Chains A and B, each alone.
Chain A
């Protein structure tokens, strides 16, 4: 009779193990147009990936010059990432043993959140609101300020430089921010110049592919970054009035992603991995021992009990999910640059050329951009990327 009980119990365990699978998400129809598909993902995709798709789609919109759409998407994302996320059910589940980290609402690693503020800052400046742009750059710096090693805290050259530049434009002192920017400029990058308050055309440039996330470790519990593919490093902008400006990288997102140090979540994932390994080992031992005992006439019942315990332990191990979240804002650039020029009012065409680290022209990336410089006391902001999406 007891054997029958145990058999029923084992059956139940098998049934429960089957529950570990998650329901498949509805298939999202794709068109191949990243802007349309991005919007579809935002509207129809999982809610916990809404911000991820807002990031991606906003950047596509930026690259297409659809700035109103980029603004709307970034504003919505910043509403969430700018708050304090507490009492979030999905976050609680992500911390639990039996749900993966990717269950949590995606807000991105610090370098991704910084970039959301960076792009929104560019758009504010474009709209003639350098103080709100500065607010975005400051928020970006704050996000990068709690690194494990102090040397890497708030060390974006461009964010400090633009913070100070906006202050200078608003007739307040931007000197401290400029000092910080120059101090943070690494030997591999360009040292930013002093501010020219009269410079009225601002070029925000970017090139290369941003860091890619991957998971490593026995249970893929460790989040790591791989450097993105990159060709272009230097951007040369030749205006049709003869003015030329060259922007070199001031910030490297791969460097930023890899100099943060560990996350609190990494400790949680490490604990999950230890738990998974322990329960799995205990399960193996119990199954083998139980099977051996179950073959004995006098120890059959005890053996089945140990076997059931082993299966339970294995089921728990199988259900433990320590894998790190590798969802990433995957269309970010690697290098960020900036330049400012004094340009008389009028309409201009600029030849934009990209060069690699050795100064070789990457002719396939060359393009023309047209922009208008207005007489009003508003800066003209030109955003240039080596990617056309």
Chain B
């Protein structure tokens, strides 16, 4: 009787072991649901480059810093600002405009008209519209021959720079984000601020 039990146990073990082989080849058969994350949250997909949480942190800091300077806080009238492209000197190819876009959006939404941005990137369309008005092809709510396009009081621009170290122990990237506001009349840099982020990591040995 005891030997039959032993036999049965042995066969059951064999069956269990071989049955385990059937599960190979199918991973996450139902998929992995989308995980929504905050833009300033570090995701589980990460590198040493610029990521959304860096963008949010840097642009929040810059927007707060700009509003505090006397040239903006105590300005007579509303200063007009033009965005100049950010200079990317890092090793990371990025959409550079995203930094200035977020700073502009932050200031426009939070600063309640303390600064105004000029839509220079839309100049071609704006000029065409003005020409249509001047030629009488479309209606105008004011005299189209009077120049109403505003000039800039300040230029907002920035530079992204980085230092990289790569050794057998991993990759380390330091990125310096600096932004400045330049007086369009005098070329004075009336404001400058920076943020710096350093990241490092080591890849799986299978990729080294």
Contacts and interface: CB of A to CB of B under 8 A. Distances in A.
A268 B18 contact: no
Given A5-B6, A5-B10, A19 B18 contact: yes
A139 B49 CA distance: 11
B34 interface: no
B206 A131 contact: no
A22 B207 CA distance: 23
Contacts of A87: 204
A221 to B, nearest CB: 14
A1 B7 CA distance: 10
A86 B170 CA distance: 12
Interface residues of B, number: 41
B11 interface: yes
Nearest to A136: B93
B181 to A, nearest CB: 21
Interface stretch (B113-121, B131-139, B161-169): B161-169
A91 interface: yes
Given A91-B204, A131-B87, A142 B166 contact: yes
A220 to B, nearest CB: 17
Interface in B54-106: 87-94, 96
A31 to B, nearest CB: 27
Given A132-B88, A145-B166, A86 B24 contact: no
Given A8-B10, A19-B18, A132-B93, A86 B204 contact: yes
A148 to B, nearest CB: 10
A11 B17 CA distance: 12
A135 B80 CA distance: 32
B151 interface: no
B147 interface: no
Given A5-B10, A23-B25, A83 B47 contact: yes
A378 to B, nearest CB: 13
Given A104-B207, A135-B94, A136-B93, A84 B87 contact: no
Contact of A95 (B90, B93, B205): B205
Given A135-B94, A146-B167, A101 B18 contact: no
Contacts of A15: 14, 17-18
A84 B48 contact: yes
Contact of A19 (B21, B89, B170): B21
A264 B48 contact: no
Interface string A125-163: 000000111111011001001100000000000000000
B194 interface: no
A87 B89 CA distance: 31
The 10 closest A-B pairs by CB, nearest first: A83-B47, A84-B201, A19-B21, A138-B91, A264-B208, A91-B206, A132-B93, A91-B204, A12-B14, A135-B93
Interface of B: 3, 6-7, 10-11, 13-14, 17-18, 21, 24-25, 27, 45-49, 87-94, 96, 164, 166-168, 170-171, 201-208
Interface of A: 1, 4-5, 8-9, 11-12, 15-16, 18-19, 22-23, 78, 82-89, 91-92, 94-95, 101, 104, 107, 120-121, 124, 131-136, 138-139, 142, 145-146, 170, 172, 263-265, 268
